[in-house]
Amino acid sequence: MSEVAGRMAVQVGAHCLEKEQGGIGVLLGGVPGVPAAKVVILGGGVSGTNAARMAMGVEAYVTVIDRSLPRLYELDLQFGAQLHTLFSTMENIEREVIAADLVIGAVLIPGAAAPKLVSRALVRAMKPGAVIVDISIDQGGCFETSRPTTHAAPTYVDEGVVHYCVTNMPAAVARTSTVALNNATLPFVLAIADRGWRQALSEDAHLRNGLNICEGRVTHPAVARDLDLPFSPSDRLLAQP
Amino acid sequence: MSEVAGRMAVQVGAHCLEKEQGGIGVLLGGVPGVPAAKVVILGGGVSGTNAARMAMGVEAYVTVIDRSLPRLYELDLQFGAQLHTLFSTMENIEREVIAADLVIGAVLIPGAAAPKLVSRALVRAMKPGAVIVDISIDQGGCFETSRPTTHAAPTYVDEGVVHYCVTNMPAAVARTSTVALNNATLPFVLAIADRGWRQALSEDAHLRNGLNICEGRVTHPAVARDLDLPFSPSDRLLAQP
Amino acid sequence: MSEVAGRMAVQVGAHCLEKEQGGIGVLLGGVPGVPAAKVVILGGGVSGTNAARMAMGVEAYVTVIDRSLPRLYELDLQFGAQLHTLFSTMENIEREVIAADLVIGAVLIPGAAAPKLVSRALVRAMKPGAVIVDISIDQGGCFETSRPTTHAAPTYVDEGVVHYCVTNMPAAVARTSTVALNNATLPFVLAIADRGWRQALSEDAHLRNGLNICEGRVTHPAVARDLDLPFSPSDRLLAQP
Amino acid sequence: MSEVAGRMAVQVGAHCLEKEQGGIGVLLGGVPGVPAAKVVILGGGVSGTNAARMAMGVEAYVTVIDRSLPRLYELDLQFGAQLHTLFSTMENIEREVIAADLVIGAVLIPGAAAPKLVSRALVRAMKPGAVIVDISIDQGGCFETSRPTTHAAPTYVDEGVVHYCVTNMPAAVARTSTVALNNATLPFVLAIADRGWRQALSEDAHLRNGLNICEGRVTHPAVARDLDLPFSPSDRLLAQP
Amino acid sequence: MSEVAGRMAVQVGAHCLEKEQGGIGVLLGGVPGVPAAKVVILGGGVSGTNAARMAMGVEAYVTVIDRSLPRLYELDLQFGAQLHTLFSTMENIEREVIAADLVIGAVLIPGAAAPKLVSRALVRAMKPGAVIVDISIDQGGCFETSRPTTHAAPTYVDEGVVHYCVTNMPAAVARTSTVALNNATLPFVLAIADRGWRQALSEDAHLRNGLNICEGRVTHPAVARDLDLPFSPSDRLLAQP
Amino acid sequence: MSEVAGRMAVQVGAHCLEKEQGGIGVLLGGVPGVPAAKVVILGGGVSGTNAARMAMGVEAYVTVIDRSLPRLYELDLQFGAQLHTLFSTMENIEREVIAADLVIGAVLIPGAAAPKLVSRALVRAMKPGAVIVDISIDQGGCFETSRPTTHAAPTYVDEGVVHYCVTNMPAAVARTSTVALNNATLPFVLAIADRGWRQALSEDAHLRNGLNICEGRVTHPAVARDLDLPFSPSDRLLAQP
């Protein structure tokens, strides 16, 4: 779903920049003779890259900030001069966020809270009517000012900046998301249907990683820890007839 | 303002396609493994071309229908294989509109009502949740089902299709639009300031075309006709000291 | 040779689509105002990717169907919106093959027969005059209707569809293929010439994998199995003076 | 039809370069590590430009030679570094034709015989197995060695070079050509149907240019001259009730 | 020669930005993680467009400032988002020049002195080590601080800014320039050789515009005025046997 | 620094090709109607790829020669038809170097002297005024005729060919290089500052590889060998309190 969220981030950002939504009233791509808007993307992973691709597509001025130099090199090779890449330092983040019309938070660290890269003070220093889209809100958000919102009331204004922090962004494009999800899960469904759950799980470590409970026992270490229940490794259970 | 409206048409269309807005719930560009949405643009003039450019930018499947073959050749040369061009026949319009997720009406004929290219019956045949953005609404619209809306209440659903028919689209991105307008008018302002209105008007036919009343007389034929007042050609008035 | 076959597939497909060859009489890229032909490529490996690249080059509407989501993501990142990627499901294959003007079979599984992805019934449902190019014919082909042909008589019509199933496609562009083959084999030749066969084989596992017989003994397990002869691991033989 | 012929020229050229057709056996785009074939296009008009576009699409090394510098500038601006443009001098033509794998003759001068840009001696100096596609064969051809052929027997070898000189190339892709032709003629058909032939002809100079005989009199000067009949200007005849 | 000068402007600018030449020590295209340099081009005509194309090619951040909106639209359509276009106002020029690493003056008005778009005060406000390349120096230059230099001593530092103001830039790439010039003049040479000077001049107004003296009389109005000699229209002289 | 050197190689090469520097006097990208210069890059690693990218950017005709087929495939996929890739054979190197206007040596083998790919005889066979830029000069250079130079006197002419062999190329763009270097080293600096040198070194093998002397003992094998001092593995020293 990271692709969907990343690509959506630009269209919701463009919408929030409209005057009626409280935005500064700029068109991301500008028009000839009028500068394009500045889009800053924090994080160059899957979400950030998809956001960057769409933002370049609508002809904004796009900067990706990431703390991995090798990742910046990959992005530079892939997108060339149209994408601006910056190494993640506090100085770079501050300068770019202050100058930005749209900041997209796409810092997703698997299984960990997103780091608060942008402080309230920095949000306050942004232009009035600028927009923040926080894709990492599901993991707590990477702006000090972000708090979860819903599709029914997707935005709020804090420190003069429009915040879009919907926790389940892909639901807005349910049809696209569902097909994408089917594509990702269908091979597992077929494996279970063709070979039975026990054999399918035995043969595929990826599928086994998703197994939470088996034969009445908790087989996922995180679930066991959070529920304070004993943990049983799945491989032993699966091996039994 | 045609550039602004054309470019905006895609971002408002993308927004309307979200479930919360009544749309079909698809992402214009799809994701890998999931097809892109189909965007059909009626009219390949300035507005339509700018709309097409943004729609290609977000990686939709984009078709422009125009009745001018030379214009289709220009668009094909400019955008190559990424843009699909079709000659405007009733058969082509029907087939493409029925298959479309987003139809953008960009048929703008200077000083004339837009032709009703899409009938109510054809709108009814569209997919439920598909979206119509009618840029030509200022000239009456090119869909039989379009009626003017405002930024406060920009859309309505008719025949199951979401309609966005805001009459003054560029106002949503007021900052961009204002600078664009300044760029276009500044040379005239400077000419009047530098040379005086009489000389500036005498020397520039474009400026003179915008003159409605001069020395108490109506100097624009359409204004004279509509107000039933006598028409005085501007050149004679301007020639007098 | 997969690159050569993949790239050739589009030019032979274009040729077969001409009326004189029994084809439907369409130009792959169309012309402005006339839609491009639909090219469907089964398999997004080396052959399929090269075919896709050429098909996009001549401005056809190109769809690649693959069963690996990660591969679809790579293709999408590489080629962007110009290439349409679909996850391999029976529904997707059916819909796309029926709508296609040219279907290229590029499903190559090393050391295994190609799966019959397209049944005779599905070929029958294709448009009369559509074209099938089966690159995987060397491994049995991935269409139920394909059977090997030669450069002298490269095509036949079955179920109204033109089939091009030449088993050694690269021979048609012998000069290009020879240089490509030289490039791939020259380092091995030089290694043998410089260091002697024994040392060259000892030092390079890739070269050793190609060794069938050594000192009178069969050193390739598949050859040993097929000829029902005893198998001798090459490393022991090579170690001897 | 110039677009169709230009685009087709590359696919027929690619086919003729195959060994089985007598060609040199090279793939237009080469493969990594193996150079692309050299395609030289004589004439940068509509046909030549469409040929160049397809040849660049299949990744050949493409040079367009034209005698109009302004046209070369347009092509350079449109296609950038991927297209090589050369001013038409005898020296340039000789050097490029001798080095070429495929030469496409696209010198079309309306209403005049094509100039013989390439002499028999120059064809003799080409590589054995090189290919000539002469789009201008309908106007006599621009190679001294070209003579008209048909789709049934499209090629012959002269001076060791494969010649493809089919006079009605677009017929091979009849479906595409027919739609393209319909697009071009439909507006005239509708004008006649809607307004009657007399009014339609009176109002449209383009249509009138195609009028050969009216009310029993020859209204086209070239027809009158060729048939030695008196010429009657069409406007007078059309003006009569 | 405008194309040559425009394209050269970027390579000389890149050279001047090196530390050894007194420049600020930046690479035009930056590297991944390090921002590209800012190149500002005053004037979007032939020279400016060629300069912009090369500057984009080396992946700088490129802005073209022009006072013609239609020209900005053309540039935007041609180059898309990679080129930043700004309408020429004093505010825009000031802001961009101050932020620039390299400013290229390409304001060429045929037969007139270039306007002094950049004052000494504005040059003083530029970054130390920034670079000015003034292509319009042949017409007096468009920077208040520019003065003509030679290939032997091409640069000087004024107000802390490196100036490159060589009057005959194309001479540095004499081979390229000579061929380009030959291409442009050869048709005239051939016309004179084939038809004689009198007929060639009579038939071609472009050639006639270059005639200064004929039959002992001055036939060019500007030459006559500057030398205070009587002017004789060339057509009368040419008409005489 | 390989990126910086690679990108700089093209701008110094362009400069050296100017007449005043002794070069042949050609513009890398040519102009419409005049062929582009030929740039040959020996080695398709990081430096070579960055050089190729810039050379394509200024619209030269660019060929990369590398001895790794997989690398050529990657380059071909990345850059498509605009980059010409050749397998490294003596025949290919000879033919290309002789035809080249600019040859860039970018063969960098970590910790080893660069191979002398181009002999003095081959340099002698190059065009007078052609240019060699030897990025691999820090490792001895890959041309038999290269010898180290400085930014103060960067070039010399040998065998009629201009040689640019500055050993520390990135110093010319010190600002860009410094930021790039900071980006690469900052994470190590932060690690040492945050966790102390002992822990930082213990936890990061990359950092440890850079440790030359620790607690008075030589911890780098190459340094120990070159200075003829005893070598102490760093891990033991670091483990001690």
**Which residues of chain F neighbour C78 with C-beta distances below 8 Å?**
77
Q: Kind and range of the H or E element at F50? A: helix F46-57
- In the predicted model, is pLDDT for residue D240 greater than 80? no
d(CA C24, CA C8): 20
What digits encode the pLDDT tens for the residues D76-88? 988 988 999 999 9
Predicted pLDDT of residue A239: 78
What digits encode the pLDDT tens for the residues D174-207? 999 999 888 888 888 988 999 999 888 988 888 8
Beta bridge partners of B41: B64, B104
Give the pLDDT band (50/70/90) at residue C107.
Answer: very high
Partner B contacted by A2 (CB < 8 A): no
Interface partners of chain F (CB pairs < 8 Å, 3 or more) are: A, C, D, E
**Minimum Cα–Cα distance from D60: chain F residue:** F81
- In the predicted model, is pLDDT for residue D224 greater than 90? no
A61, A35 Cβ separation under 8 angstroms: yes
**Minimum Cα–Cα distance from F33: chain D residue:** D86
**Which residues of chain B neighbour C83 with C-beta distances below 8 Å?**
none
The dihedral of CA A45, A48, A50, A56: what is its sign?
negative
Give the pLDDT band (50/70/90) at residue A133.
Answer: very high
CB-count exposure of residue A56 (10 Å: 0-12, 13-18, 19+): buried
CB-based burial, D162-183: b 16+ in 10 Å, e otherwise: bbbbbeebbbbbbbbbebbeeb
Question: Length of chain A in residues, anyone?
Answer: 241
Q: Give the closest of B78, B186, B187 to E77, CB-based.
A: B78
Of the candidates F3, F4, F16, the one whose C-alpha atom is nearest the C-alpha of residue F165 is F16
B3, A31 Cβ separation under 8 angstroms: yes
Ramachandran class of B92: left when φ > 0, alpha when ψ lies in -120 to 50, beta otherwise: alpha
Q: Kind and range of the H or E element at E164? A: strand E161-164
Which two tokens mark E220?
């060019």
Predicted pLDDT of residue C241: 60
CB-based burial, E62-75: b 16+ in 10 Å, e otherwise: bbbbbbbbebbbbb
Partner D contacted by F36 (CB < 8 A): yes
**Which residues of chain A neighbour C87 with C-beta distances below 8 Å?**
183, 186
Q: Do E33 and A81 touch (CB under 8 A)?
A: no
Q: Do D186 and B89 touch (CB under 8 A)?
A: yes
Higher pLDDT, E188 or A149: A149
**Minimum Cα–Cα distance from B35: chain A residue:** A176
Residues 6+ apart with CB under 8 A from A226: none
Which two tokens mark B131?
């979206």
In D53-154, the DSSP E strands lie at: 61-66, 83-87, 102-105, 131-134
Q: Which range, A142-146, D29-33, F231-235, is most confident?
A: A142-146
Which two tokens mark F233?
């593995």
Q: Give the closest of C77, C80, C87 to A183, CB-based.
A: C87
E100, E130 Cβ separation under 8 angstroms: yes
Q: Are strands D38-42 and D61-66 parallel, antiparallel or unpaired?
A: parallel
- Tell me the residue type at D124: R
Question: What pTM was computed for the model?
Answer: 0.87
Q: What is the largest CA-CA distance in chain C?
A: 73
Predicted pLDDT of residue F240: 67
Beta bridge partners of A161: A158
Predicted pLDDT of residue E130: 98
Which two tokens mark D99?
């080095």
**Which residues of chain D neighbour F88 with C-beta distances below 8 Å?**
none
> Residue D32: phi, psi to the nearest 5?
-55, 130
User: Taking residues C183-193, what's their average pLDDT?
Assistant: 88
Q: Which of B118-122, C15-19, E115-119, E211-215 has the lowest mean pLDDT?
A: E211-215
Predicted pLDDT of residue E241: 61
CA distances from A42 to A75, A89, A136, E32 (A): 13, 11, 10, 15
What digits encode the pLDDT tens for the residues B68-105? 988 999 999 889 889 999 999 999 999 999 999 999 99
Of the candidates F37, F21, F161, the one whose C-alpha atom is nearest the C-alpha of residue E179 is F37
Q: Do D87 and F33 touch (CB under 8 A)?
A: yes
Partner D contacted by B189 (CB < 8 A): no
Is chain A touching chain D, with at least 3 CB–CB pairs below 8 Å?
no
- In the predicted model, is pLDDT for residue A240 greater than 80? no
CA distances from D86 to D96, D147, F30 (A): 10, 27, 11
**Which residues of chain A neighbour F78 with C-beta distances below 8 Å?**
77
C5, C171 Cβ separation under 8 angstroms: no
Q: What pLDDT tens digit does each residue of chain F (241 aa) get? A: 789 999 999 999 999 999 999 999 999 999 988 999 999 999 999 999 999 999 999 999 999 999 998 899 999 988 988 999 999 999 999 999 999 999 999 998 766 678 899 999 999 999 999 999 999 998 889 999 999 999 999 999 999 999 999 999 999 999 999 998 888 888 889 889 999 998 899 888 888 888 888 888 898 888 888 788 999 888 888 876 6
d(CA B97, CA B103): 7
CA distances from B122 to B84, B96, B114, B125, E133 (A): 21, 11, 17, 5, 59
Q: Kind and range of the H or E element at C95? A: helix C90-99
Which two tokens mark E241?
């046997």
- In the predicted model, is pLDDT for residue A241 greater than 70? no
The full DSSP string for F90-153 is HHHHHHHHHH-SEEEE----TTSPPP--B-HHHHHTSPTT-EEEEGGGGGT-SBTT---B-SSS
User: C-alpha angle with apex D59: D53 to D65, nearest 5 degrees?
Assistant: 50
| Dihedral in degrees, nearest 10, Cα atoms E215, E216, E221, E225 | 180
Q: Kind and range of the H or E element at D198? A: helix D174-203
Predicted pLDDT of residue D216: 87
Residues 6+ apart with CB under 8 A from E176: E4, E170, F25, F26, F27, F30, F31, F34
CB-count exposure of residue B39 (10 Å: 0-12, 13-18, 19+): buried
E131, E97 Cβ separation under 8 angstroms: no
> How far B238 CA sits from the closest chain A CA (Å)?
33
Q: Are strands F213-214 and F217-218 parallel, antiparallel or unpaired?
A: antiparallel
**Which residues of chain D neighbour C14 with C-beta distances below 8 Å?**
11, 14
Q: Are strands A161-164 and B83-87 parallel, antiparallel or unpaired?
A: unpaired
Q: Kind and range of the H or E element at E157? A: strand E155-158
Predicted pLDDT of residue F241: 61
Predicted pLDDT of residue E92: 94
> How far C69 CA sits from the closest chain A CA (Å)?
7
User: C-alpha angle with apex E140: E138 to E146, nearest 5 degrees?
Assistant: 100
Predicted pLDDT of residue B83: 94
**Which residues of chain D neighbour B80 with C-beta distances below 8 Å?**
53
CB-based burial, F86-99: b 16+ in 10 Å, e otherwise: bbbbeebbeebbee
Give the pLDDT band (50/70/90) at residue E81.
Answer: confident
**Interface size, chain A vs chain E, as Cβ–Cβ contacts under 8 Å:** 50
d(CA D24, CA A91): 61
Predicted pLDDT of residue B206: 84
F26, E175 Cβ separation under 8 angstroms: yes
A239, A202 Cβ separation under 8 angstroms: yes
Predicted pLDDT of residue D207: 87
CB-count exposure of residue D20 (10 Å: 0-12, 13-18, 19+): middle
Q: Do C184 and F89 touch (CB under 8 A)?
A: no
E43, E66 Cβ separation under 8 angstroms: yes
Higher pLDDT, E72 or A81: E72
